Chains A and B, each alone.
Chain A
Amino acid sequence: QVQLVQSGGGVVQPGGSLRLSCVVSGFTFSNYAMHWVRQAPGKGLEWVAVKSHDGSSEYYSDSVRGRFASSRNNSKNTLFLQMSSLRPEDTAVYYCAKEVGVAGAVGGLDYWGHGTLVTVSS
């Protein structure tokens, strides 16, 4: 079955960096764009970033562009989110998620990781 296993969360000081990982199984990772979505405590969902299936393109929300970078290793079925210049408002549960459609034929996010908490605090 499809699994997305996340790791890498934790507590970091403002201005610091952190890298999240998302290891997937149960589907052909290289065929699907992958996304990051976050949720601040008690708040709604916020889309963060997408990495295309082949790694050739990526897009970011205005709130993280220039500070976060998404990458992927298709040979290791792993998605990454490198976060730098972290701010207290980046505190959230971060989810990785898989697009429904193959190779950019978009259609929502049908499988999600369990989420990992990132806390930015001094």
Chain B
Amino acid sequence: EIVLTQSPGTLSLSPGERATLSCRASQHLSSRYLAWYQQKPGQAPRLLIYDSSIRATGIPDRFSGSGSETDLTLTISRLEPEDSAVYYCQQYYSSAWTFGQGTKVEIK
């Protein structure tokens, strides 16, 4: 099983600041096979990025994904109050998909 480790656990930033979320894989995986999701309390997850760097339909361009085979990054370039949520990475390189444990983004 591919284990994804996200850091930091919590990120507390002000509106307009840049958020950088990390996702490290336990083994090499093609950087293509990674997605990022946003989840707000009481809601289903929302796909932000797939194939490592492709924004899903309707996702603002302040969200971007990048990285290599084991180290992937989600960047929110200019935080807005509605970006307060938990963010998860997910790999689909192996048949058994896995999620990271999540990073909580708090807006001051």
Total interface residues on B, CB under 8 Å, equals 27
Cβ contact within 8 Å between B44 and A44: no
Q: Which residues of A contact B44 (CB under 8 A)?
A: 95, 112-115
Cβ contact within 8 Å between B47 and A60: no
Q: Which residue of B lies closest to A61 (CB)?
A: B96
Cβ contact within 8 Å between A59 and B95: yes
Decide if the interface of chain A is mainly helix, strand, loop or mixed: strand
Q: Which residue of B lies closest to A50 (CB)?
A: B97
Question: Cβ of A107 < 8 Å from any Cβ of B?
Answer: yes
Q: Which residues of B contact A11 (CB under 8 A)?
A: none
Contact with B along A88-122 (1 / 0, CB 8 A): 00000001000010000011111011110000000
Chain A contact residues (Cβ within 8 angstroms of B): what range?
A: 20 to 34
Of B1, B35, B57, B95, the residue contacting A109 (CB under 8 A) is B35
Q: Which residues of B contact A35 (CB under 8 A)?
A: 97
Count of A-B contacts judged by CB separation below 8 Å: 66
Of B45, B54, B56, B57, the residue contacting A45 (CB under 8 A) is B45
Cβ contact within 8 Å between A110 and B56: yes
- In the bound complex, how far is the Cα of B13 from the Cα of A77, in angstroms? 43
Q: Which of the candidate stretches B19-27, B70-78, B98-106 sits at the interface with the other chain?
A: B98-106
Question: Cβ of B33 < 8 Å from any Cβ of A?
Answer: yes
Cβ contact within 8 Å between B96 and A112: no
Cβ contact within 8 Å between B45 and A108: no
Closest 7 CB pairs of A and B: A108-B35, A108-B50, A112-B44, A47-B97, A107-B50, A59-B95, A45-B99
Residues of A within 8 A of B (CB): 35, 37, 44-47, 50, 59-62, 95, 100, 106-110, 112-115
23 A-B residue pairings within 8 Å (CB atoms): A44-B102, A45-B39, A45-B90, A45-B102, A46-B99, A47-B98, A50-B97, A59-B96, A60-B96, A62-B1, A95-B44, A95-B45, A106-B33, A107-B51, A108-B37, A108-B50, A109-B35, A110-B50, A110-B57, A112-B44, A113-B44, A114-B44, A115-B44
Given A62-B1, A107-B54, A108-B37, 6 further pairs, Cβ under 8 A: A44-B101, A45-B99, A59-B95, A100-B50, A107-B51, A115-B44
